[in-house]
Amino acid sequence: MTAGTAGAAHTQRIREFKMPDVGEGLTEAEILKWYVKAGDTVADGQVVCEVETAKAAVELPIPYDGVVHALHFDEGTTVDVGTVIIAVDTDPGAGPVGEAPGEAAAPAEEDDAEPQGRQAVLVGYGAAPSSTKRRARKQQPGVPAQSEPVTAGLQAELNGHSAPAPAATPAAVPVAPAAPAAVVPVAERPLAKPPVRKLAKDLGIDLATVVPTGPGGVVTRDDVYAAAAPAEAAAPAAPEVAVPTAVAPVAAFDAARERRVPVKGVRKATAQAMVASAFTAPHVTEFITVDVTRTMKLVQELKQDPDLAGLRVNPLLLVAKAFLVAIKRHPEVNAAWDEATQEIVYKDYVNLGIAAATPRGLLVPNIKDAGAKTLPQLASELGELVATAREGKTSPAAMSGGTVTITNVGVFGVDTGTPILNPGESAILAVGAIKLQPWVHKGKVKPRQVMTLALSFDHRLIDGELGSKLLADIAAILERPKRLITWG
């Protein structure tokens, strides 16, 4: 058997499964748990590990039959999408696996040969076939382009194999460093993570003109800041008189009594989303306190209704319905701001998000087309949504496309708050605790069930008058719930 034949046979025998994109363009995922180990027999479709992205925990099935040859990463490791995480020997009966001649270069060739065949990605997700090829790394000014053997060796090392011996090359020919002005944007899309792309967009920097310094030619935040620095900053500054400045205090740490937890997964995504929302959308928050005694009586009556038997009926259900009816009366609030086109997008559907506290962190799944659902349908989906979120089984699709959100801080005994908008949405309603309080009712002070609502909205989309009318209508419905019929 020739070296080329042996290498091809080895490549076909050892199949490598790469980390798929399991959630709408996410760039990385953490391996939570392996269900197999080296030497275990696996079958096509068998779940081999569970990973956590910034949006959800997902189980990954293997698309091969065979025996696990190697696990490339330990549990708790964060892996970039497209990186090989497990190798499977698809022909274990052929004897021990040996390193075939030319094996190191095989994975690079396989990436080019397999785009039209089956890809090791989760069903329903993954990159388009054309994106499976690795983009060419943009040449930096003054640095000679890598030769083909060097590229093959680098690819081999990334795949866990030894690099092939470099072939003899002719004497090096001096290459004049390229002038800075000769940088030409490449036609292909530069490699950069979403936060870096957002930073470049905010600073008005074309990523194609940025020299990458990250691993594999990835543009980093520092690269963007370097490109944004004014040209005159490089010129020697005029001497200035030294002015004594106060030394910044250094934070003190007591390592023996402190714990450090890496920011990743849902917590990392939530932090990034809240910062982006708080400093992008101008927030306005308004409050109203309302007598919900009649609503609480209606909740008790609905619990006895045979049409709602087995469904979860609580005050949140009627608050959600009141919110939807109020939006129907003021459809202009159901909109989104498109920064790229400088347009307001008005939506004829309402995907109602429900903020849920889970062991994995804050999740905001949403009920699709909630405005078109009956009360029993809304109760059913609301109960299923909350249960699924608490079990950590919410899918990425269930958390995308929301238009408005409800956050129920009242379950923690809190009266109200100033909630931050879910990115891309126009409004969020905070529902406070329902408490027995003295209230003027029919000219007399009586104990009544009272709650406070807080509505935060994007002031680019919703003017103060419109936001006030929306919140007043929600309160009016909860004060007299028969308006669910007359207004709905």
Cα–Cα dist 64/239, whole Å: 68
Long-range contacts of the stretch 328-333 (C-beta < 8 A, 24+): 328/371, 328/487, 328/488, 329/473, 329/487, 330/466, 330/469, 330/470, 330/473, 332/462, 332/466, 333/404, 333/426, 333/427, 333/457, 333/461, 333/462, 333/466, 333/467, 333/470
Cα–Cα dist 18/127, whole Å: 12
Structure token digits, residue 278 = 């708080």
Q: For residue 66, give the H/E element and its range.
A: strand 66-71
Terminal Cα-to-Cα distance of the chain (whole angstroms): 78
Catalytic residue among 161, 283, 441, 459: 459
Cβ of 272: how many Cβ atoms within 10 Å? 16
Cβ of 6: how many Cβ atoms within 10 Å? 16
Cα–Cα dist 49/309, whole Å: 39
Q: For residue 453, give the H/E element and its range.
A: strand 444-458
Cα–Cα dist 69/88, whole Å: 5
Backbone angles phi, psi at 142, to 5 degrees: 85, 0
Cβ of 103: how many Cβ atoms within 10 Å? 21
Nearest to 351 by CA among 402, 399, 406: 402
Q: For residue 356, give the H/E element and its range.
A: strand 356-358
Structure token digits, residue 22 = 């399991």
Cβ of 252: how many Cβ atoms within 10 Å? 5
Q: Is 69 a catalytic residue?
A: no
What's the order of all strands across the beta sheet hosting 41-42?
14-18, 84-89, 66-71, 41-42
Which residues are designated catalytic? 459
